Amino acid sequence: MPTLQHRSPADHYTRTARAAARTVMRSYSTSFTLASSALPRRIRTHIEALYAMVRVADEVVDGAWTGASPQNVIGELDRFEQVIAQAVERGFSTDLVAHAFAASARATGIGPAQWEPFFASMRSDVPADQPPPPPNQDLPTFIRPHTKEVVRSDESWWEQTADSQWEQTAHARALTDDELARYIHGSAEVVGEMCVLAFFDGAPLPRDAEEALLPGARALGSAFQKVNFVRDLAHDSAHLRRGYLVAPGRASTDFTEEHKDRLVFEVFDELATAAPVIDELPRTVRAAVWTAFGVFAELNHRIAMTPARQVARRRVRVPDPVKLTIAARAASGRPRTAWPGMPVAYSRRSA
């Protein structure tokens, strides 16, 4: 390994950008940090860069810019997308996250076909009358762990305000099925595609990738996103005024057992579609993907076992020891592949 004195300025800068992307992932997601730890170092840098780009855009719409107007948010998303596109074209950016993403995108073949639908979904998260979220009183303003991954002592605040923080207005409604499908495609399915390209690290995809591998990756991304929707229902409905599943501010009244059971089944159905595809990925990345698969399947199972009224008020969690057990099984080559309620049990061959 070259010493600092022997690194070129370009190599030193790219390493610094990748370290910044790694910091973003470690700060925001314990689950993906755990899963990615099983990846080879080079592939892990791609996943960290991809995660960081997605997370920064998500934070723009989720309130990291305190006091920003909807116009500010849309403008910043437009600017960031342009920075990403220019960084990939040039191979350089003064934005460290964009530079890290560009290095990985250029190495793996990630392009506008993936990031343009993603940014379109992010823009759809910005309502025309979005007020600024309440400031975080517990942390300095320059440190804002994403509340979708970090539960603080103010968790009960969401229970108290799930229905009272925002009054439903005439235009506030849940997304239609078609709108939700478009949102999931841009926010999750194309991220699955980007992950596949990162896993192959620039090598050609199998000839039948469009028939099996990529649909499986999209199904896995969609399943993860739907689990996030249910897990974060109280926060998204009350604080962010999102209508992914129910109208904003209506989580505890409109989210029913029937609604929950349908979503749980959809997630398990998509996980069953994705499971056989995982063993079609390069051998060196399978343990990491099985770990992520297992954590989200376990979370979906715990959601299934929790009354809808509780799901609508508090986040359901997978304890860290359980996550570690799932990761250890995946690393040993014996990942858990089925959960109660999963419609198709995947009989995994030795891999």
pLDDT of 173 reads 86
pLDDT above 70 covers a percentage of the chain that reads: 83
Q: Which has the higher per-residue pLDDT, 263 or 155? A: 263
Q: Which has the higher per-residue pLDDT, 279 or 349? A: 279
pLDDT tens profile 206-221: 999 999 999 999 999 9
pLDDT tens profile 115-171: 999 999 999 999 776 444 444 433 333 223 333 333 333 333 333 333 444 344 435
pLDDT of 1 reads 54
pLDDT of 343 reads 75
Tell me what the pLDDT averaged over the chain comes to. Answer: 86
pLDDT of 326 reads 97
Return the structure tokens found at 94.
């003064």
Query: How many residues are given for the chain?
Result: 351
pLDDT tens profile 305-343: 999 999 999 999 999 999 999 999 999 999 999 899 887
Give the C-alpha separation, 301 to 137, whole Å: 34
pLDDT of 239 reads 83
Q: Does position 28 have pLDDT exceeding 90, yes or no?
A: yes
pLDDT tens profile 101-131: 999 999 999 999 999 999 999 999 997 764 4
pLDDT of 110 reads 97
pLDDT tens profile 48-104: 999 999 999 999 999 899 999 999 999 999 999 999 999 999 999 999 999 999 999
pLDDT of 348 reads 64
User: Which one, of 16, 29, 19, 84, lies nearest residue 318 by Cα?
Assistant: 29
User: Which one, of 289, 135, 113, lies nearest residue 186 by Cα?
Assistant: 113
pLDDT tens profile 188-198: 999 999 999 99
pLDDT-derived band at 349 (thresholds 50, 70, 90) equals: low
Q: Which H, E and C letters describe the chain, residue by residue?
A: CCCHHHCCHHHHHHHHHHHHHHHHHHHHCHHHHHHHCCCCHHHHHHHHHHHHHHHHHHHHHHCCCCCCCHHHHHHHHHHHHHHHHHHHHHCCCCCHHHHHHHHHHHHHCCCHHHHHHHHHHHHHCCCCCCCCCCCCCCCCCCCCCCCCCCCCCCHHHHHHHCCCCCCCCCCCCCCCHHHHHHHHHHHHHHHHHHHHHHHHCCCCCCCCCCCCHHHHHHHHHHHHHHHHHHHCHHHHHHCCCCCCCCCCCCHHHHCCHHHHHHHHHHHHHHHHHHHHHHCCCCHHHHHHHHHHHHHHHHHHHHHHCCCHHHHCCCCCCCCHHHHHHHHHHHHCCCCCCCCCCCCCCCCCCCC
pLDDT of 172 reads 76
Q: Can you tell me the mean pLDDT for 260-275?
A: 95
Q: Does position 9 have pLDDT exceeding 60, yes or no?
A: yes
pLDDT of 170 reads 38
| Residue 13 and residue 99 in contact, taking contact as beta carbons nearer than 8 Å | yes
